[in-house]
Chain A
Amino acid sequence: GAVVSQHPSRVICKSGTSVKIECRSLDFQATTMFWYRQFPKQSLMLMATSNEGSKATYEQGVEKDKFLINHASLTLSTLTVTSAHPEDSSFYICSARQGQVNTEAFFGQGTRLTVV
């Protein structure tokens, strides 16, 4: 399968600071990338869908001004958690898809964010 790399894998930040997470498709061009959040012992909850060159589509209840998504190229999408608070501590995972809607999406390895 295709490779999606997410960086960093772990990050600890202070309350009030911002954190940027990168999601890269290493061997294919990702027209669409998805950002998920997963709290301990819970399922993956979609935060937003990111299409290259256009604004991200956010799921209901997700603050777009707090979770900034940029998909500037076909191989890179970034998620910036602004003014982080302890309740933002979670496992953030991206997935990337090449081409049409009915193609498989591949997951990054996830980023464990801890806000202290």
Chain B
Amino acid sequence: GENVEQHPSTLSVQEGDSAVIKCTYSDSASNYFPWYKQELGKRPQLIIDIRSNVGEKKDQRIAVTLNKTAKHFSLHITETQPEDSAVYFCAARGGTSYGKLTFGQGTILTVHP
């Protein structure tokens, strides 16, 4: 089955700096890669996603890049703000098995004012 590795497990930045979180996946058939933000005790919120036919996608301060050959994808947050502090999860979804998501281990992002 799919295996998703996420790094780093914790990330601390100053307000205004950029933050980068990286994930690798094992199943070359995976074709959908969402990123979720989860605050303590809350549901994961989709913040951006990318499909395998696209190399990069951007939404304001958030961007995701995908390298299918290397099987890795990254989340980039620019001009970080304290409210960006949360746990971020990457995930990968293959084309079979009812499209289930396999999640990375999560990254605790702390943005210091």
Chain A residues at the B interface, C-beta cutoff of 8 Å: 1, 32, 34, 42-46, 49, 51, 57, 91, 93, 95, 97, 101-102, 104-105, 107-110, 112
* Min distance, Cβ B33 to any Cβ of chain A, angstroms: 12
Least CB separation from B96: chain A residue: A101
Interface size on B, residues (CB 8 A): 25
Say whether B44 contacts A101, CB under 8 Å: no
Which residues on A sit within 8 Å (CB–CB) of B101?
A: 34, 46, 95, 105
Does B99 count as interface, using CB distance less than 8 angstroms?
A: yes
Does B100 count as interface, using CB distance less than 8 angstroms?
A: yes
Contact bitstring B69-106, A, C-beta under 8 A = 1, else 0: 00000000000000000000100010111111111111
Q: Please, could you name 15 A-B residue pairs with CB atoms under 8 Å apart, sorted by A?
A: A32-B98, A32-B99, A43-B89, A43-B106, A44-B44, A93-B44, A95-B101, A97-B99, A101-B96, A102-B51, A102-B99, A104-B49, A107-B44, A108-B43, A112-B41
A43-B89, A46-B100, A104-B49 given. 10 additional CB < 8 A pairs?
Answer: A34-B101, A42-B106, A43-B106, A49-B97, A51-B98, A91-B41, A101-B95, A102-B99, A107-B45, A109-B42
Which residues on B sit within 8 Å (CB–CB) of A45?
A: 103
Which residues on A sit within 8 Å (CB–CB) of B96?
A: 101
